[in-house]
Amino acid sequence: FRRIPFIETFEHELTHAVAALLFFRRVTGFRVRGGSGAVQHVGGFGGRLGDDFIGLAPYVLPTFTVVSVLVRPLLGPAWFPWFDAWIGFTFGYHLWSMLNETRQAWTRRAFPSATDGEVTQSDIARRGFIYSFIYIVTVTISIHGVVLAILANGYSGVPPWAREVWDMTQVFAVAVWDQAVVVADWARKSLGR
C-alpha cells in the first residue's frame, strides 16, 4: 500500500495523456516523480473544451474501467462473472481516487511542477472552483452513466439511457424556466413596473 500514491499519480497522469490523445493531441512528455506528475501535449483540436476535458479528466474519466468495458465484448461468457468483478474493482478504485484527488486538488495552494519545478496550481484551481465543480459533477454523471448503461444492457443500453437523460433534462429546463418567469413577475410587481 505504500506504493498507492505512485500508482494513483501514474493513473492520474495516464488519464491526462489518454484524454489528450482523444483530442488528437500529441503527448510530448509524461513524468511521474513520487507523488507528483505532469503531462505535456501539443496540437490537436477542441480549444478550451479540449483543454478542460484534458485538465479535469482524472476527476471524471475512469480510465481502467473504460478500457475494461471496451475489452469485455471480446471475452467469452465464461469470463463475465470474474471480469465483471474486475470492472467493479476498477470502478471502485476510480471513485476512491477521484474523491481523494479532488479533495487534495481543491486548494489555492501552489506547488512545484514535476517537470521544471516552476510553481503551479492544481488542475481544479487553474479552471476555477465553481466551474470545476459544475464540470466535474456533470461530466462524471454522464461518463459514469454511459459506463453503467453498457454494463447493465450492453452497448445497446446507451441510446435508451441517453434518451432518458435528454427527457429529464428537458423537464428540468422547463421547470427552471417556469420558476424564472414566476420570479420575474414577482420582481416586476414588487418594483411597480
Q: Tell me what percent of the chain is helix, strand and coil, each rounded to the nearest 5.
A: 75, 10, 20
Residue (of 97, 105, 120) closest to 10 by Cα position:
97
Averaged pLDDT in 10-residue chunks for the chain of 193 residues: 71 93 93 82 87 94 92 85 90 91 86 72 89 94 91 89 93 94 90 71
What's the CA gap between 141 and 138, in Å, rounded? 5
pLDDT of amino acid 87: 92
Q: What is the pLDDT of residue 76?
A: 82
Backbone angles phi, psi at 112, to 5 degrees: -75, 135
Q: Is the entire prediction scored with pTM above 0.75?
A: yes
CA gap 145, 78 in Å, rounded: 26
- CB burial of residue 158 (10 Å; 0-12, 13-18, 19+): middle
Output the pLDDT for position 193. 59
Would you say 165 and 145 are in contact if contact means Cβ atoms under 8 Å apart?
yes
Q: Residue 23's closest CA among 62, 60, 51, 65?
A: 51
